[in-house]
């Protein structure tokens, strides 16, 4: 299991009216993926971009490092004359990647949400606490593989906690 990989990805906050079907269709065409309409879910595309549901009218669109301006531009063009708020928040969060055997157990040791596959699987995301720090958890693969989004000021704390918690786990066969 690895818990030490830190990712600096593009992150763009998007707020819009989810009842505007025409706007959602334009956004889907512009991004190449739809915004998830179900709470605590994510959508993705083959290029590694994801849209994470944060609230009924807010999403976090994730892309490779340096792509935030392109995501912002695409969203603004898709908006047309509709009221849409698009903000580059790439500097607002870092992502840790936690993957491999024991990854779920590692996160469960400090997280109050149920990460069992019956409740949380690839394509799920949730805002929660991990080791008393506010995070956004996104399961990106069934292996399991998670991205843990956290504010940069808490990154060292969480990295130390992940390292300490990892040492205390008993490997399962």
Hey, what CATH class is 9-91 in? alpha beta
Q: Break the chain into its structural domains and give their ranges.
A: 9-91, 92-168
Residue-wise pLDDT for 103-116, tens only, equals 999 999 999 999 99
User: For residues 136 and 147, what is the distance between their CA atoms, to the nearest angstrom?
Assistant: 8
Contact in structure between 166 and 3 (CB atoms under 8 Å): yes
What is the reported pLDDT for 1?
Answer: 45
Domain 92-168 is found in CATH 3.30.1360.120: yes
3-state class (DSSP) for residue 153: helix
Global pTM reads: 0.90
pLDDT in tens, 93-148: 999 999 988 999 999 999 999 999 999 999 999 999 999 999 999 999 888 899 99
């Amino acid at each position: 299991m690895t818990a030490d990989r830190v990712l600096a990805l593009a992150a763009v906050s998007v707020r819009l009216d989810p009842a505007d079907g025409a706007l959602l269709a334009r956004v889907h065409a512009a991004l190449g993926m739809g915004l998830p309409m179900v709470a605590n879910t994510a959508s993705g595309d083959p290029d590694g971009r994801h849209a994470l549901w944060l609230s009924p009218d807010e999403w976090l669109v994730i892309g490779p490092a340096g792509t935030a301006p392109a995501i912002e531009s695409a969203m603004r063009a898709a908006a047309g004359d509709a009221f849409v708020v698009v903000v580059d928040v790439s500097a607002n969060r870092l992502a840790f990647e936690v993957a491999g055997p024991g990854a779920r157990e590692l996160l469960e040791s400090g997280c109050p949400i149920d990460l069992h596959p019956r409740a949380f699987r690839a394509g799920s995301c949730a805002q929660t606490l991990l080791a008393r720090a506010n995070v956004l958890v996104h399961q990106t693969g069934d292996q399991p593989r998670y991205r843990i989004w956290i504010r940069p000021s808490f990154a060292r704390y969480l990295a130390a906690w992940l390292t300490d918690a990892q040492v205390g786990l008993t490997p399962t066969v």
